[in-house]
Structure 1
Amino acid sequence: MPKLKTRRAAAKRFNTTGTGKIKRMKPYKSHILESKSPKRKRNLRKATLVSKTMTEAVRKMCPFI
């Protein structure tokens, strides 16, 4: 059986919490920020958890995180 390899693009985007859940940053924070309210931009700074439906897909892409 071949070696398991991590998808590097996914590995850069996800981290694991202490309890084993997968953490990600929110999108839409890179440009066209003038039209977004300060409250919206402030909330986009925070990390969030990957949904339960996508967790299995992320684990397959990153088997070692």
Structure 2
Amino acid sequence: MEFSVGDHVSWNSEAGRVSGRITKIHTADFDYKGHRRHASSHEPQYEIKSDKTEHIAAHKGSALHLVQDS
């Protein structure tokens, strides 16, 4: 599934289920927190801002689930 900036998504973390909004989509390799992350147009990585902590996370689309806002 492909996501868009502004989509509300959730994912599993060490702390349990986390949700947030996508703020950026990477379609080329990029540096994130001192590590090289691999991304392409076929397998983008998404930066997501956590709803609760405002922490920024980066994940592949396969780790994300769309949240239906009510």
- TM-score over 0.5 for the pair: no
Q: What interval of TM-score do these two structures reach, taking the shorter chain for normalisation?
A: under 0.3
After TM superposition, the score normalised by the length of structure 1 is: 0.25
Which one has more relative contact order, counting CA pairs under 8 Å at least 6 apart?
1
The structure that is strand-richer by fraction is: 2
After TM superposition, the score normalised by the length of structure 2 is: 0.25
